[in-house]
Amino acid sequence: MSTAGGEARPQRSPAAAAALVVGVTVALSVVFTLLGLPSAVLFASLLGGMAHALTSPTVLAVPSWSYRVAQGLIGVVIGASVTLSALRRIAGDAVPVLAVLVATLAISIGAGWLLARRRDVSLVTGVFSLIAGGASGVVAMAHDLGADERVVTVVQYLRVLVVLLTMPLVTAVVFRPDQAVGRLAASDAGLPRDLVFVAVSLAVGLVIARLVRFSTATLLAPLAVAVVLALGGWLGDVSVPTPLQWLAFALIGVQVGLRFTRASLASITRMLPVVLALIVAIILATAATGAVLAWLTPVDGLTAYLATTPGGLFAVLSTAADSGSDVTYVLAVQLCRLLVILALTPLLARWLSDRPGR
């Protein structure tokens, strides 16, 4: 089979493709752990998925049920880390957090406007391709919003990819957290109680998620159940066993990596240099807002950086949990931005449609 560029690529069997992804993930996880990178499994699985997707046309997808379980597990990991003291501190920082949310939205719209300077990109498509946060929700609504859903899908997930590739490196090189070595704290409750905690949080949370059916419910519902159980103290000081955390991180990373086939990237080939430059600019600009947040509030630099990172919610929370930063704070800021963006999306689309465009 040949690609658009005429290069022949091997047609792997699904079993061989899965073996490649798992092999690369395991090998790189060991290497990244030894190098002290945060979220080593997440980073390695992302590259494992890409190793197959970019070298073979064989379609390999993570089963939807396993991805939901992974999202739920990430929610339980975060829920076990939520503290009342952190929630109170966030309430006191409401004004700076709101200012960061507004700044991020403005940065996204500005980048989308620049992308729309191209003759082949409408203003609606440009803005929703680069809006920071809620990639899955924005992609799902792209067609109804009047945007080019193909461009929005590829650029949104390319943004998530770049965020995921740079986040562990920035965390390790710039902030050098003590815990950023791929090891997550164990609990004092013991394995049986930890497993009960995970099973109840995950089972009840995913049932609730199926009933309420809103964006990110598979993360938030298990998270809410886990918060109730953890803060209630009925099972003691509980957490998610480390192997289950690694499994969740791997499934999240592989899911993103497998999206980047040569065909998907070829669909935006002509605008790829501009898109990449704008994505990097968004990451730098939002990092600057994180620095401002750290300056205006008592929160540390790493927590502020992760709280303002433009996208990749599950990966950001995974890195926060694995690097010793304030997970509750990161979750609150990221979640607020996500909800604001998803709520404003229809109004923003209507407003953009009224602007002069091509």
> Mean pLDDT over residues 307-330, rounded?
79
229-248: pLDDT as tens digits? 988 878 878 888 888 988 98
Q: Which long-range contacts (CB under 8 A, 24 or more apart) does 140-147 make?
A: 140/215, 141/345, 141/346, 145/345, 145/346, 145/349, 146/122, 146/349, 146/353, 147/122, 147/349
Q: Running DSSP on this structure, what letter comes out for residue 239?
A: -
Please tell me the least confidently modeled range out of 78-82, 85-89, 134-138, 182-186. Answer: 182-186
Nearest C-alpha neighbor of 148 from the set 358, 317, 339, 356: 358
Give ∠ CA 214-75-43 in degrees, rounded to 5: 110
Q: Running DSSP on this structure, what letter comes out for residue 2?
A: B
Show the DSSP H helices in 235-326 as ranges: 242-257, 262-266, 272-296, 301-308, 313-323
The two tokens of residue 258 are 């497998």
Residue written as token pair 């990110």 = 216
Nearest C-alpha neighbor of 157 from the set 351, 332, 315, 334: 315
Bridge partners of 119, per DSSP, are: none
Q: Running DSSP on this structure, what letter comes out for residue 172?
A: I
pLDDT for 283 equals 93
Instruction: Inform me whether the pLDDT recorded for 163 exceeds 80.
Output: yes
Count of alpha carbons within 13 angstroms of residue 333, beta-carbon side: 39
User: For the chain, how big is the Rg over CA atoms in Å?
Assistant: 20
Q: How far apart are CA 31 and CA 180, in angstroms?
A: 14
pLDDT for 276 equals 93
Name the phi and psi angles at 141, rounded to 5. -95, -5
**What pTM value is reported for the model?**
0.70
- Tell me if residue 209 falls in helix, strand or coil: helix
- Average pLDDT of every residue of the chain: 81
Q: Cβ distance 151 to 268 under 8 Å?
A: yes
> Mean pLDDT over residues 281-290, rounded?
93
Number of other CB atoms surrounding residue 175 within 10 Å: 18
pLDDT-based confidence at 137, cuts 50/70/90?
low
Spell out where the chain has E strands. Answer: none
> Mean pLDDT over residues 293-306, rounded?
90
Give ∠ CA 228-208-252 in degrees, rounded to 5: 85
Q: Which long-range contacts (CB under 8 A, 24 or more apart) does 272-276 make?
A: 274/115, 274/118, 275/115, 275/129, 275/130, 275/155, 275/158, 276/158, 276/162
The two tokens of residue 265 are 């990237």
Using the CB atoms, write b or e for 80-114: b if 16+ within 10 Å.
bbbeeebeebbeebeebbeebbebbbebbbbbbbb
55-94: pLDDT as tens digits? 988 888 888 888 888 888 988 887 887 777 767 777 778 8
pLDDT for 140 equals 62
CA separation (Å) from 143 to 45, 137, 146, 340, 353?
A: 30, 12, 5, 20, 13
